[in-house]
Structure 1
Amino acid sequence: MKVTVVGAGAVGATCADNIARKEIVDELVIVDIKEGFAEGKALDLTQTTSLLGFDTTITGSTNDYSKTAGTHVAVITSGIPRKPGMSREDLIGTNAGIVKEVATHILKYSPEAILIIISNPMDTMTYLALKSLGLPKSRVIGMGGALDSSRFKTYLSLASGASQNDIQATVIGGHGDTTMIPLTRLASCQGVPFSKILSPDQLEKVASDTMVGGATLTKLLGTSAWYAPGAAGAAVVESIIRDERKVIPCSVYLDGEYGESDICIGVPVVLGKNGIEKIVELELNETEKAKFKASADAVRNMNKVLHDMKVL
């Protein structure tokens, strides 16, 4: 099995590191536009093989996509990252052209590849890749929900003292500071609802902290985060390559599910060897339904920018 990670920056390199360490595939290719950058990252990772005990073959390439031929899953992290004060939406002008070009190159050599989109604004970039390339909706997946749900679990753990590994928690909606929806009502720890563990005020703060989780890190770091985004991307890849059929929130194309159509937005999905095996429809209450509709409207408005820019 073969995976390609496009973009050798912090997120791409971290994603590649996780994939290599866990021996998810036999062959891993890293591609970047900067001369020698991907090759350097690949060699550096390869030199950890004996230290960490994995045998994944890692190759770097400067914009030569012929080396990606036979890719089963491609992770696209290309584009400019957020800086302090920037929203994910601010990136659309630059990143739309990059994502479309990269995806086209990948499919030229691997026409059956499943695409994992990490580039921001992620829901819109996922929609762009799906619509511009005419791929089946099962093969274009935005990573955001996996990352947001991980951050949700972190804040629930910090507030309660529970182990993150014992927490079940899901974020749906857009991958944005104002559009994501941490489902506090459904969050639990070993089957015990968090509504019985934390006060309403504590749960409200957990949800608020989750929603600005990325912005908080951007302010602290001076750029976008990379450890958790890279690990989230690798987790999505792993479920697909190993056909684990895990339920992971991802940005996917809806065609009537949750009452929405013609949009890519975060919902729980079953991920297996074919990509999206099934969309899981949660039973939302009226408040959650209203929040999801508002989130979808915001994402749809962002998608209109693609048409205004004549990218679609």
Structure 2
Amino acid sequence: MHVVIIGGASRIGSTVGYTLSGMDPDVEVTLVDIDEDAAWAHATDISHAKYHFSGTLERVSNSATDVGGAVRSTTPAGLEGLDPDLLVFNAAAPRPEEATDRGAREAELDRNLEIVDTVADQLRDLEPVPVLVVTNPVDRLTYRFWSVLDWPRARFIGYSLSEMARAADVVGRKLGEAGQNVHCPIMGEHGEHIVPVFSHARVDGEPVEIPESEYADIREYIRDIPFEIAESRGVQETSRWVTSAGVTRVIRTIAAGENETPICLSTPLAGEYGLRDVCLSVPVTLDENGVAEIHDWELSRSERRELATAYEAVRADVDGM
């Protein structure tokens, strides 16, 4: 498998490259960045790190040609010469140092929209492959890629698994359970209008009832914690550890060709949940082509209402692009 990370010299991009190469040394990785020297340095360092990982972890790639996957770098001008199986879009304009509150994601739309359009132009001549969008605002930019590239909608995926990890943490603490044993899916927007699907929460795979009195606190924690991290550690650092781990999880799932349990990721909707012409996080299963199936979960009345609110918020920005 060949994974191309656009914005590969960034903190998240390079960390994804390192994490993926460590977990699957057979996967070929190309870091694409306008900072040619930094991309080369990260690629070379990761290549050396693969020496310590090789042969120690289970492989998910099935192709014999993947053995000993190289880590390379190039500039955006080299995109057309690549033959990727999956694209990770992580390129972004620099974030202001003061962008440490929940309104910061909205401001990123104007800064990053032009970058999306430029990259989409560079991708037009490639064969359609899954595009995993990590740059914020994820739902809007995933929609933008879909709207300007004439590729099947199943190819477009917006990353939104960090919220699920944060939900597991706070729900676990409230229930006295280890977060690793908690599963609380998050639908809706990657941002302010998240929809924790409490009706589908599980502990050790079994349904669990979360007191409704805790709902508001759980939502606020999930919304606030990434910005508390940014304020304490520096906005340029972002929540790169949880994001890189989650992005790697998505890539490995696509490489494996299937996932039995749906995970919530942003993808274009065409009538699912009564919504269309928007990208929102919904439960999906993945295969080597991207989204294999969108699952129609039964939701509570309040969850349906919150999902409609998320739709209206994202759709308003899409209309204004």
* TM-score, normalised with respect to structure 1: 0.90
1:250 aligns with 2:262: no
User: What do the CA deviations read for 1:241-268 (whole angstroms, capped 9, x no partner)?
Assistant: 2102352211111111111011111101
Change (3 A) 1:25 1:105: farther
The corresponding residue for 1:309 is none
Q: CA RMSD in A?
A: 1.9
Corresponding residue to 1:206 among 214, 218, 232: 218
Contact 2:80 2:122 in 1 (8 A): no
State how 1:30-69 maps to structure 2 within 5 Å: 30-53=31-54, 55-66=68-79, 69=82
The answer to which of 50-59 and 30-39 deviates more is 50-59
Query: Could you tell me how far 1:24 is from its partner in structure 2?
Result: 6.9
Q: How does 1:19-98 map to 2 (within 5 A)?
A: 19-23=20-24, 25-53=26-54, 55-66=68-79, 69-80=82-93, 82=95, 83-85=99-101, 86-98=103-115
1:180 to 186, 194, 200: 194
- In the TM superposition, residue 276 of structure 1 has moved relative to its aligned partner by 0.5
Tell me the distance in 2 between the aligned counterparts of 1:262 and 1:203: 29
Structure 2: which 5+ residue stretches go unaligned?
A: 56-67
One of 288, 295, 298 as aligned partner of 2:303? 288
1:259 paired to 2:274: yes
Alpha-carbon distance between aligned partners in 2 of 1:194 and 1:68, rounded to the nearest angstrom: 50
Structure 2 equivalent of residue 128 of structure 1: 144
Show CA shifts across 1:164-185 (max 9, x none): 3322210000111x21111123
Q: Do the aligned residues in 2 keep the contact of 1:11 with 1:226 (CA within 8 Å)?
A: yes
CA separation in 2, counterparts of 1:184 and 1:228?
21
Structure 1 residue 45: Cα displacement: 0.9
Alignment gaps of 5+ in structure 1: 307-312
Alpha-carbon contact 2:90-2:133 (below 8 Å) kept: yes
Q: 2: distance between equivalents of 1:134 and 1:70?
A: 18
CA distance in 2 between partners of 1:68 and 1:234 (Å): 24
Residue identity over aligned pairs, in percent, reads 24
CA 1:36–1:6: 2 relative to 1, 3 Å: same
Structure 2 equivalent of residue 106 of structure 1 = 123
* Runs of 4+ that moved beyond 3 A: 191-194, 198-204
User: How many Å separate the matches in 1 of 2:292 and 2:193?
Assistant: 25
| Secondary structure, aligned partner of 1:269 | strand
Question: 2:64 is matched with which residue?
Answer: none
CA distance in 2, matches of 1:265, 1:134: 19
Quote how far apart the aligned CAs of 1:12 are: 0.7
